[in-house]
Structure 1
């Protein structure tokens, strides 16, 4: 499925939890998927909420999202490609708000250079070193669809099982996406990945467009040649279904219709069904949107055991990489002025409040960078969950989550840490610590001993 990095094979790492009689092991000779990164979105005018902050608060927010010393060090930004004629209700503006009259008529593009604040956000991300920009369309403009509305579902005119008196709009929508990519390129932001569907199994009252896998293949057979003819090597992503089971069905239909070869990345959200088994594909897989949408805001790491708390999301991220072999994990909203729990950072007036979910993701995104390879890690103790990654510079990051409660603290002895590392650097997150740098632990003959408190997560970073 993935080509291993041509790095020297490292010696096997073995770990033992002496107090509980459990065994933790990391084996750098067993290599799995390559990581593309971790990220978030500021779509639907959320980027403008950051822009409107006072300068100090704005910088604090950006540092929490992108900094490798102050925050999460995210490496992917997901932008929304607008389809709405205006920005009412925080909708995303279309670059072609007026129907040109027919699919073959010259388009009437309108570009404000801001794109709902996302151009500014992308430029800030680029300053921090972000290189992966994923632009995704929730819908085509309404006049290109069966329901003549960019909201409330409907289908792109011209795909199978549709009939529109206005004609076949597949090529016009492909041209629309190419124009969007060129506008960003002219703004100094090369979009690396593009998607044309968002939750196509859902009919909703905001921008939405329905499709099954076979219908997605119909459009891909127009989009990909159009991209290449325009000189764009942009990676194509499909199909961002509401959940893992739903995307599995769409993927099967896509494969049966001959569309998989036109896709560079298979994508899904985690809402309706959580990431579970790997998809049956040789393409990299991204989890491109997931959040806690049901609860009121909480910044807690571990308080009431609810699904919006940080330790829950630490487990979600880890399980998604280990069980589903994803190459990227993208949360829904990075920062937002709201009272719900859908964002990683709450903007409240001039205040900026990071959540336990942010630090849960930071335990991975700060230390696992694009190009890293997941390596084998396992635990015989059910409350201790592990993952491990080797970065392109040879750094190994080991994540251990202790899901046990008081009385289950684990003393961990990790043996065989090969290479020239003399120390391992632990970083702790729990109810009292947010990615706190702990005292370095000495490595002797490839061995070191550390301690993981209950209801906590530690990332151990070994450098050659």
Structure 2
């Protein structure tokens, strides 16, 4: 865009400019102002929920609780954050009036107007959270169909991807069809050894059927909680059985030219040896990229064994409950364990269980007698966002897929804990939770500069900033008078000046990052 160009008689007029973090000296050299960090916070009493606290400058002295960033220490990439659109969740979302449903979906999935959830772990068939009875895609041999999921689940997934095209999907079955199992029931039992190929074919059909709906199942686990056979769709599967089935499934996926990744286990932190045993028995199968974990037993540090084995870690399920838990309890525990400790121990994803449940923690047909929570609650046509929503929002809104975890000092249990990432555009983000019983004055120190902030007890904050070397800076082209400017930290900068030695004109430009002036 250009502005009118009146003639200017004076030559060599000095240029002075101060615009949103950009200074320009008389020599025409761009000077970056002192960097600042933006802060968003959620407090345990709920008075602030993903609330902007403005900016804090990197002009403070390091505090006693100092988060020191080491960008040279690099670990795993961030893959995504989200939940599962169970049939229960989809039914509740679809029950909302169209305007409320649109607002809810926007708040969940839009990167610009919501928290931008970008990973969905999709059950393949029924779970313990259904709006109707139990089912699989092929309850009768030879009659495969995902038509039941086309009624409510897939429309929700399509609406989500329309808001956020970068959503990544995982498929996870709770049970094969009953006729493939010992006991001939969806509940419990084991996969018959002579049905390994049939089950592999079934999963290939599921991947293709979802693909025909425009939904790519990039990742796959083959049995939810393989060490917990119970009174809802479930199945026991030992590590040796899973390894043998993976061999059949790998051949079948390859035969159908499907690049689907496989993850072992998909169960609690308390048995990391399970996926290790699977890896040891399936060496050479490159599509087995890592292991999936849940939160209901053990501790997140168990994931480090998977990292040490050279494999990737996906955290795939946790549900808060409402017996004794409050907003404050869930906020702190989930932030500490599902985000900070999970990611400091290799986790690439943060995935809650049900995306939505009602005021009774349902509809459900399982063991959630203590009222499980969804990311949101839908009751009587109204939506309430729980602590889970804000725990995920503090991740997904600020840490982008492909971000690299970088080094940061962190206190342990009972202190201020954090995890830090560098986004693909060079910006940095620190996710911080104060598990202490009192407010803590903290600082972020990066490139020998510190920014300070007081974090309330039990609160979660995300701090974002451009790193000191400004790797995302964009050099603008030359402008009249031989001057150049660097756009740093904002999407657009208006420049107006008197052109110099050629006595041409007063000219203005708006320079956009990453664009070239005509």
Does the TM-score normalized on the shorter chain lie above 0.5? yes
Q: How does 1:272-311 map to 2 (within 5 A)?
A: 272-277=297-302, 278-280=304-306, 281-293=309-321, 295=323, 298=326, 300=327, 302=328, 306=329, 309-311=330-332
Measure the CA separation in 2 of the matches of 1:223 and 1:184.
18
CA RMSD of aligned residues (A): 2.9
- Alignment-derived partner of residue 458 in structure 1: 461
User: Do residues 391 (structure 1) and 423 (structure 2) align?
Assistant: yes
How many residues end up aligned between the 2 structures?
397
Measure the CA separation in 1 of the matches of 2:356 and 2:325.
12
Confirm or deny: 8 A CA contact 1:384 1:400 kept in the other structure: yes
Confirm or deny: 8 A CA contact 1:83 1:95 kept in the other structure: no
Compute the TM-score of the two structures, normalised by the length of structure 2.
0.71
- Alignment-derived partner of residue 34 in structure 1: 77
From the superposition, tell whether residues 128 and 296 of structure 1 become closer, same or farther in structure 2 (CA, over 3 Å).
Answer: farther
Equivalent of 1:56, from 75, 83, 99?
A: 99
Residue 111 of structure 1 and its aligned partner are, at CA, apart by 3.6
From the superposition, tell whether residues 317 and 145 of structure 1 become closer, same or farther in structure 2 (CA, over 3 Å).
Answer: same
1:377-409 deviation line (CA, Å, top 9, x unaligned): 114686221211011111111122223334x33
Q: How does 1:411-450 map to 2 (within 5 A)?
A: 411-412=442-443, 414-416=445-447, 447-450=450-453
Confirm or deny: 8 A CA contact 1:414 1:448 kept in the other structure: yes
Q: How does 1:53-92 map to 2 (within 5 A)?
A: 53-82=96-125, 90-91=132-133
Measure the CA separation in 2 of the matches of 1:296 and 1:448.
37
Of the two, which has the highest radius of gyration?
2
**More off after superposition, 251-260 vs 39-48:** 251-260
Confirm or deny: 8 A CA contact 2:219 2:261 kept in the other structure: yes
- Alignment-derived partner of residue 120 in structure 1: 155
Measure the CA separation in 2 of the matches of 1:333 and 1:343.
5
Measure the CA separation in 1 of the matches of 2:215 and 2:65.
49
Q: Secondary structure at the match of 1:343?
A: coil
Confirm or deny: 8 A CA contact 1:387 1:398 kept in the other structure: yes
Confirm or deny: 8 A CA contact 1:384 1:402 kept in the other structure: yes
Residue 411 of structure 1 and its aligned partner are, at CA, apart by 4.8
User: Do residues 360 (structure 1) and 385 (structure 2) align?
Assistant: no
- Alignment-derived partner of residue 271 in structure 1: 296
From the superposition, tell whether residues 41 and 116 of structure 1 become closer, same or farther in structure 2 (CA, over 3 Å).
Answer: farther
Which structure has more relative contact order (CA 8 Å, sep 6+)? It is 2
Equivalent of 1:332, from 335, 346, 353?
A: 353
Structure 2: give runs of 5+ residues left out of the alignment. 1-36, 38-57, 361-370, 467-471, 473-518
Q: Secondary structure at the match of 1:170?
A: helix
Measure the CA separation in 2 of the matches of 1:202 and 1:260.
29
From the superposition, tell whether residues 356 and 88 of structure 1 become closer, same or farther in structure 2 (CA, over 3 Å).
Answer: closer
**More off after superposition, 118-127 vs 131-140:** 118-127
Structure 1: give runs of 5+ residues left out of the alignment. 1-12, 101-106, 159-167, 418-445
- Alignment-derived partner of residue 350 in structure 1: 381
Measure the CA separation in 2 of the matches of 1:113 and 1:447.
55
1:213-269 deviation line (CA, Å, top 9, x unaligned): 11001111111111111121111122212x1122x1211331343368351231111
Q: Secondary structure at the match of 2:420?
A: strand
Q: Secondary structure at the match of 1:387?
A: strand
Measure the CA separation in 1 of the matches of 2:206 and 2:232.
20
Measure the CA separation in 1 of the matches of 2:325 and 2:411.
35
Compute the TM-score of the two structures, normalised by the length of structure 1.
0.78
- Alignment-derived partner of residue 340 in structure 2: 319
User: Do residues 177 (structure 1) and 203 (structure 2) align?
Assistant: yes
Equivalent of 1:208, from 231, 234, 252?
A: 234
